[in-house]
Structure 1
Amino acid sequence: MAQAQKRIHYVVEGGVQGVGYRYFTRKHATARDLTGWVRNTQDEKVEGEAQGEKNKITDFLKELNKGPSHATVSKVNHEQRDVVEGEAAFEVRN
């Protein structure tokens, strides 16, 4: 039986731009069959949304807190959002 879907919005703070963080995020999202998006913000943070099974979202958040090797993650804030029906992929936005 499939788990219920969950969606979160997240904002990552620290040294997370210019270090491949968005592509790291996409890699870990797609490895867990999550959908959503990620982008850089004007204030040097990374934000996005991810949707999938609850346990996979939990694992994904652990990876966001680690980040790629050249990133320095100081904080990851997240909150639950409404599930988006029909979303099929995880994309990197500009």
Structure 2
Amino acid sequence: MHQFHATIHGKVQGVWFRAWTRDTARELGVTGWVRNLPDGNVETLAQGNPELLSKFERDLWEGPPLARVTKINTTQSETDEIIPSFSIRR
């Protein structure tokens, strides 16, 4: 299974970014999770086919209307661990 791990920087907390990310992932059929980080950034781990993950990453740059993404750090990998759905972690 393909996956990527991303840290999203900018104005991404307090703007519904996690809920938007979950909804976007579910619409695309991507599984994984998203959570706020103590430093004000947002972290996500997403699994799916490479084309869907590429689309998901492009969508993260847009974010919800009130968000302002300034940078996304990503790493891509393969995994045998399958995450069955997309959730918000707290």
The two structures have a TM-score, normalised by structure 1, of 0.90
> What's the offset of the Cα at 1:83?
1.9
> What's the offset of the Cα at 1:50?
0.1
Size of the alignment, in residue pairs?
Answer: 90
Identify unmatched segments of 5+ residues in structure 2.
none
Amino acid at match of 1:36: G
- Measure the CA separation in 1 of the matches of 2:86 and 2:77: 16
Structure showing greater radius of gyration is 1
Please tell me whether residue 10 in structure 1 is matched to residue 6 in structure 2.
yes
- Measure the CA separation in 2 of the matches of 1:58 and 1:27: 16
- Measure the CA separation in 1 of the matches of 2:32 and 2:49: 13
- Measure the CA separation in 2 of the matches of 1:92 and 1:84: 21
The two structures have a TM-score, normalised by structure 2, of 0.94
Q: Which deviates the most, 49-58 or 78-87? A: 78-87
1:32-70 CA-partner distances (Å, limit 9, x unpaired): 111110000000000010000100000000110011000
C-alpha RMSD of the superposition: 1.1
Q: Which of residues 1, 5, 25 in structure 2 aligns to 1:29?
A: 25
Percent of residue pairs identical: 38
Q: Which of residues 56, 60, 63 in structure 2 aligns to 1:64?
A: 60
Identify unmatched segments of 5+ residues in structure 1.
none
